[in-house]
Amino acid sequence: MTHWPDAQLSSWIGNAGAEIERLGVARIAVTRTQTPRIKFATYIHSLRSAWFDYAAHELADRQFLAMSMRSLGWLAKQLGLDQVVLVGNDPISTNIWDANTQLHIAQLCRLLLGQCPQQYIGVRNLVPKYHAELMDALSAMGFYRLPARVIYEFDCRSALKNRASHLQRDRALLRKCALEVSIQTTLNVYQARQLCALYRSIYVEKHSALNPQYNEQFFLDMVNSGLMRCLLLQDVNGVVMAFALMYQVESTLTVPALGYEVLVKGLYRMLFAAIMNHVESHQLLLNYSSGAGDFKRKRGAQAVLEYTMLRAPSQNNRISRLILSSVAHYAHRVSSANLIALGA
């Protein structure tokens, strides 16, 4: 098993807004938000960014709702949510762990309860069907279960009976194009620069500055360390037109970052087809994270509700604990269908 490279978050992410350390024999990633909180702190380290600022950004054309989300974010700040410790939190949108790592996360959370009595402690990316024991252990420690987002899965661990027509058309488009598809285990500086530009043009400039603002060093370290591989679509001159980082733990694959040349029609569809070709040929479960829900559902994805579990500070913060308990009580009714109806 390849371990994560050792580096400060600021050397990989321009808006990290947090520090990272790796604790215990399993080297579990633990991030702690920096104070004062930086502008556009990325949602992968800041729960206020994830739950309130990002929502306000997406609701920009609905001013009242956007203002309401910012007001709730201000309230969360007053309740101390800017000081959060996230366990098992590597610097990617979707963390995946094997069973042994989950056990260490639970043990580490128990240890941190005594060490961080004035901070929120949380664990992101929890799905009941994969993390039931971990979630039960966290509940027993006083953590509350909060629905976070809808993610989309393509389960190719056994032969697919039916292939969505949209996916078949994507594959036909890929076959007809003149682009070369390859999977790289090393990158050079020139390639990393291309990947960084493609990623930032979509995720940072087009979508939101709250997405992690990865730099060239991130792409170099992720691939050249052996932790991830990189799927490339290149033209005849070797120019990268589209890419996807691929991170695999056991039989589950995630795509921590991707990018494509937005001026070329159909490139995202071709990139997705190339990803699915790899997933099917290796019989993997693709956790394709959140976003672009309609696109993913039309290609056969299953919607799954993902949770963050959070514990309020144990010291001198009774109000925060009461509010968190109340929010969790009402949030228990939220389903993936509810969030899809809102655009997830």
Q: Which residue has the higher pLDDT, 320 or 182?
A: 182
Question: By mean pLDDT, which of 55-59, 76-80, 84-88 is the weakest?
Answer: 55-59
Could you tell me the pTM of the whole model? 0.95
What average pLDDT does range 192-213 have in this prediction?
Answer: 96
Q: What is the pLDDT of residue 342?
A: 77
Q: Which residue has the higher pLDDT, 315 or 203?
A: 203
Report residue 62's pLDDT band, with 50, 70 and 90 as the boundaries: confident
Q: What is the pLDDT of residue 1?
A: 65
Report residue 162's pLDDT band, with 50, 70 and 90 as the boundaries: low
What would the pLDDT profile of 226-263 be if each residue is shown by its tens digit? 999 999 999 999 999 999 999 999 999 999 999 999 99
Q: Which residue has the higher pLDDT, 324 or 160?
A: 324
pLDDT at 289 over 70: yes
Longest Cα separation, the chain: 64
**Other residues' Cβ atoms within 10 Å of the Cβ of residue 216:** 18
- Find tokens 């963050």 and name the residue: 308
| Domains in the chain, CATH or no CATH each | 9-148+307-341 (no CATH), 154-298 (3.40.630.30)
8 Å CB contact between 78 and 37: no
pLDDT at 316 over 70: no
* CA dist., res. 145 & res. 10, Å (int): 30
**Other residues' Cβ atoms within 10 Å of the Cβ of residue 70:** 16
pLDDT at 161 over 80: no
